[in-house]
Amino acid sequence: MADDTDPAPGELLDRLSGRLATVLVLCAGIVGLSLYAARPSVPRYEAVGLGADVVRLDRRTGAMIACNLQRCVNLHQPGGRIERSSPPAALPTAAPAPAGLPPAVPRASSDAPAKPAP
């Protein structure tokens, strides 16, 4: 038969402290899990674009895809071998100024007009 009497104050305090400890542990677990899930990670993709052309690199697999407005092309498959090409040729140098012209003078840094030479 069930006991209809109220529990003793010590027993009530025991139950309450046990439940409070359980709730605190569960709350700490939830907070810890949310902090773990929200940690920053390295981005998976990198993209470089110029005009209508885009190149995308998958940092996990190494695959590269280039796209423009009409189509996309696989540049590198995961696990494929990358061939090293020869370095690009040197850029041509600017032609020297004709002998009859004076050398260029840099513009003054201030916004005021330059004073004429005496």
Q: What average pLDDT score do residues 90-100 get? A: 63
Pair (34, 50) in one structural domain: no
Pair (49, 35) in one structural domain: no
Residue entry with tokens 């370095």: 87
pLDDT confidence of residue 113: 57
Q: How far apart are CA 58 and CA 64, in angstroms?
A: 6
Please write down the long-range contacts of 108-116, taking CB distance under 8 Å and 24 or more positions apart: none
Tell me the CA distances in angstroms from 111 to 18, 88, 107, 108, 118, one per residue in order.
Answer: 78, 41, 10, 8, 21
Residues of the chain with pLDDT > 70, as a percent, come to: 63
Token digits of residue 1: 């038969």
Q: What is the pTM of this model?
A: 0.36
Pair (33, 52) in one structural domain: no
Answer whether residue 27 is part of any domain.
yes
Kindly give, in sequence order, each residue whose CB lies less than 8 Å from that of residue 69, ignoring residues fewer than 6 positions away: 52
pLDDT confidence of residue 41: 74
Q: What is the mean pLDDT of the chain?
A: 76
Residues 10-40 have pLDDT tens digits of 888 888 899 999 999 999 999 988 888 777 7
Answer whether residue 28 is part of any domain.
yes
Contact 73, 65 (CB under 8 A): yes
Range among 68-72, 89-93, 102-106 rated most confident = 68-72
Pair (72, 49) in one structural domain: yes
DSSP H helices, the chain, are: 9-37
Looking at the structure of the chain, the number of domains it has is: 2
Answer whether residue 111 is part of any domain.
no
Answer whether residue 117 is part of any domain.
no
Pair (35, 19) in one structural domain: yes
Answer whether residue 49 is part of any domain.
yes
- Write out the residue range of the structural domain in which residue 55 sits: 45-76
Q: How far apart are CA 97 and CA 13, in angstroms?
A: 96
pLDDT confidence of residue 117: 58
Residues 46-79 have pLDDT tens digits of 888 888 888 888 888 888 889 888 888 888 777 6
